[in-house]
Amino acid sequence: LAAEDKAKVNALLLALHDADVAALLENLSVEDRRDLVPLIRLEERPDVLAELDENVRDEVISQLSVAETAAAVASLETDDAVYVLETLDASEQRQVLASIPRLERLLLEEALSYPEDSAGRLMQRELIAVPNFWSVGETIDHLRYMHAQMPDRMPYAFHEIYVVDPGHRLEGSVSLDRLVCAAHAAPLASIMIRELRVLRTDTDQEEVAVLFRKRDLIAAPVVHDTSGRLVGVITIDDVVDVIDETYEDEIMHLGGVGADDLHRHTLATARARFTWLLVNLGTAVLASLVIGMFDATIEHMVALAVLMPIVASMGGNAGTQTLTVFVRALAMRELTTSNALRVIAKELLVGLINGGLFAVIAGGIAWLWFDSPFIAGIIGAAMIINLVVAALAGAIIPLVIERLRVDPAVASAVFVTTVTDVVGFFAFLGLASWFIR
């Protein structure tokens, strides 16, 4: 990216899709990014901003003037504009909003007044609503007229039109394929679909995603939570973003990192991960305390120290297996009160089966290694105990955490491995010391 070749870079940028420009910016080093930003003219390509990772966007926006940012935000569709605005800090947000034309600003302020992660934040305000007494022909004529005369009052893309009463309350929706296939004179009311479950501005975004997935929707209207008026539309591309974000959160949280870790600065990353490692240090010390209870036994029989990580590690892995299945099932709402008991019973049985098998295998290894049937018996018994406890902990802990309205993906793993470490060391060393005495 030599600074001289500005013309070349410009030509290249023009040929790239907005999403690719965003990906390019994300992959550059901080310095190269700083050089590239002025060349992109973001106020003319606002969608690049909406596609950027949050950390990178913060950096890019800090390079733009308030007026430039405001121009970019104002020319985005409302859903993308809200998405960019909600990550700015409060004073930046106020400054940018103040520089946006009044009508657009009011819409954005209203959107920002809906709760975070609600349908109200996700929806765009641009939609096609027509009166309930129109026919198919009138509607198509209206669309053609709007498109030719006032194209900037049309959504950038739309898949359905909405039929409303004089109070702008939603009566039904007509997908465009139904519209183009219907007879010219047919009244809209005869082909529209009345929604049984209408999204409200305060509906949770994950619930929106569940509905889209179940019904294979590509768009859905949103009504105001109190007035019942039609205020926006959520499209599938926004829902795909929600789906991506939800999975991203789950994977990253299960791995003990924040969702935006990759593009964070080094110090911010270290600080965020430190917290998780500190919690883990606490549980590791707890496990060490358990080992410390049996230091006399270990001194007496050092083979125990050699083998003890095996029991704990197998328990930890078995617990993580069960935990993963339960966290997933909870996220997909596949665990109900009617099947939870049956699934827990299955986990216990799986723990018992694999516990038994690994009791034999690990016992055999210990016997061969230390030529001691005593140690073989102890490790076998501890293995069964720990794998059954691991199954129980991996199943029950996420259920309890979900009940406490905390995300099981964040908090479960550390509790489960604490349980399997403590139980693993306690069972193995405790049984040994009890039999030796």
Indicate the Cα dihedral angle 141, 143, 148, 153, nearest 10°.
Answer: 150
Interface of this chain with its own copies, residues 198 to 227, rule: CB under 8 A = 212-216, 218
Q: Are 323 and 416 in contact (CB under 8 A)?
A: yes
Window of 36-44, 63-71, 106-114, 243-251 that interacts with its own copies by CB under 8 A? 243-251
Contact with its own copies (CB under 8 A): which of 261, 407, 411, 431?
A: 261
Contact with its own copies (CB under 8 A): which of 112, 176, 189, 242?
A: 176
Confirm or reject binding of residue 314 to its own copies (CB under 8 A): yes
Q: CB neighbours of 291 closer than 8 A, spacing ≥ 6?
A: 298, 308, 425, 429
- 407: region left, alpha or beta (phi > 0 left; psi from -120 to 50 alpha): beta
Query: What is the C-alpha to C-alpha distance for residues 183 and 199, in angstroms, rounded to an integer?
Result: 30
| Single-letter residue type at 414 | V
Contact with its own copies (CB under 8 A): which of 152, 267, 404, 405?
A: 267
Q: Which of 32, 37, 35 is nearest to 49 (CA)?
A: 37
Q: Which of 120, 154, 425, 177 is nearest to 295 (CA)?
A: 425
Nearer to its own copies, 13 or 257 (CB): 257
CB of 386 to its own copies, least distance (A): 12
Nearer to its own copies, 132 or 175 (CB): 175
CB of 135 to its own copies, least distance (A): 14
Residue-wise over 176-209: b if at least 16 C-beta within 10 A, else e? eebbeebeeeebbeebbeebeeebbbebebeebb
Contact with its own copies (CB under 8 A): which of 91, 149, 226, 336?
A: 336
Interface of this chain with its own copies, residues 270 to 289, rule: CB under 8 A = 270, 273-274, 276-278, 280-281, 283-285, 287-288
Contact with its own copies (CB under 8 A): which of 38, 41, 247, 434?
A: 247
Q: Are 365 and 352 in contact (CB under 8 A)?
A: no
**Radius of gyration over every alpha carbon of the chain, rounded to an integer in angstroms:** 29
Contact with its own copies (CB under 8 A): which of 299, 373, 400, 434?
A: 299
Interface of this chain with its own copies, residues 367 to 426, rule: CB under 8 A = 369, 421, 425
What secondary structure does DSSP assign to 277-309, as a single string?
Answer: HHHHHHHHHHHHHHHHTTHHHHHH-THHHHHHH
Window of 18-26, 81-89, 92-100, 164-172 that interacts with its own copies by CB under 8 A? 18-26
Nearer to its own copies, 7 or 341 (CB): 341
Count CB-CB contacts under 10 A for residue 404.
8
For the chain, the maximum distance between any two Cα atoms, rounded to a whole number of angstroms, is 94
Count CB-CB contacts under 10 A for residue 336.
9
Nearer to its own copies, 120 or 363 (CB): 363
Nearer to its own copies, 99 or 280 (CB): 280
Contact with its own copies (CB under 8 A): which of 90, 338, 403, 404?
A: 338
User: Which DSSP category does 28 fall into?
Assistant: S
Query: What is the C-alpha to C-alpha distance for residues 400 and 417, in angstroms, rounded to an integer?
Result: 16
Query: What is the C-alpha to C-alpha distance for residues 50 and 85, in angstroms, rounded to an integer?
Result: 10
Confirm or reject binding of residue 194 to its own copies (CB under 8 A): no
Interface of this chain with its own copies, residues 147 to 166, rule: CB under 8 A = 147-148, 154, 157-159
Confirm or reject binding of residue 313 to its own copies (CB under 8 A): yes
CB of 385 to its own copies, least distance (A): 15
Contact with its own copies (CB under 8 A): which of 112, 269, 402, 431?
A: 269
Query: What is the C-alpha to C-alpha distance for residues 323 and 343, in angstroms, rounded to an integer?
Result: 12
Tokens for 56? Answer: 């990178």
Query: What is the C-alpha to C-alpha distance for residues 416 and 389, in angstroms, rounded to an integer?
Result: 10
Per-residue binding string, its own copies, 53-82, x by CB under 8 A, is ------------------------------
Contact with its own copies (CB under 8 A): which of 5, 44, 165, 177?
A: 177
Please name the helix (run of DSSP H) or strand (run of DSSP E) that holds residue 219, with its range, or none. strand 219-223
Window of 12-20, 89-97, 116-124, 224-232 that interacts with its own copies by CB under 8 A? 12-20
Window of 2-10, 139-147, 165-173, 198-206 that interacts with its own copies by CB under 8 A? 139-147
Half-sphere exposure of 132 (CA within 13 A, CB side): 12
Contact with its own copies (CB under 8 A): which of 11, 19, 106, 360?
A: 19
Window of 3-11, 37-45, 71-79, 181-189 that interacts with its own copies by CB under 8 A? 181-189
CB of 29 to its own copies, least distance (A): 6
Nearer to its own copies, 94 or 213 (CB): 213
